Structure 1
């Protein structure tokens, strides 16, 4: 696969997630620290998704997966500030907020197997 991701195409009506940054605004898994929320940096090429995240309860995290239309399916792993490693699958649906920023509504299982939902909002410069 080519490493040039600067011209990732739009997929089924949604702009590419390539080089976009999102912050977590809500989660059923934990209280989100509004002053230092988890921050996600996405890359995309030809429907392949990958990236990294940190902040709030996460020291460092990585994810990779794929995109089909408005759905992103990934596997993630991160090291928490408590020293524990968490990993698993997640599925996000892309939508557009009233202000034009993208939202990612993610469904995943918490460490105890409980279904959880988080929402991340695109950060624009």
Structure 2
């Protein structure tokens, strides 16, 4: 799938732990010449940014965010870009915090 992510808005399909992204978080992606970046906010996240690269259907990026409690956090994520039957895009993510202990998986899907 070579569909551009530029301008697409994504939302997590499930909540994570407190202080992390959740179903009220919205990601707005941008893509140009193999570079990807996004802004995100909502739920426990006041403001977040990610920046990285895309090679084929794989994203590799770092993220940093400011939480509602005033703390900051950052980490690394690798995502697979998957096309859904209805034409939307899903990102299947494996992430790890670099500012604290912890790692996991998550799924975000393009908003209809």
Deviation at 1:96, TM superposition (A): 1.6
Offset from partner CA, 1:55-104 (integer Å, 9 cap, x none): 01100001110001111011110001121101111111111223221001
Q: For residue 52 of structure 1, give the secondary structure of its aligned residue in structure 2.
A: strand
2:60–2:78 Cα contact (<8 Å) kept? yes
Aligned to 1:52: 39
Q: For residue 26 of structure 1, give the secondary structure of its aligned residue in structure 2.
A: coil
2:72 matched to 1:90?
Answer: no
2:47 matched to 1:63?
Answer: no
Segment drifting more, 42-51 vs 94-103:
94-103
TM-score, scaled to structure 2: 0.87
Return structure 1 stretches of 4+ with deviation > 3 angstroms.
Answer: 31-34
Number of residue pairs aligned between Structure 1 and Structure 2: 109
Instruction: List alignment gaps of at least 5 residues for structure 2.
Output: none
Aligned to 2:3: 15
Deviation at 1:118, TM superposition (A): 1.2
Deviation at 1:113, TM superposition (A): 2.5
Bigger Rg, structure 1 or 2: 1
Segment drifting more, 68-77 vs 89-98:
89-98
CA distance in 1, matches of 2:105, 2:71: 20
Deviation at 1:121, TM superposition (A): 0.6
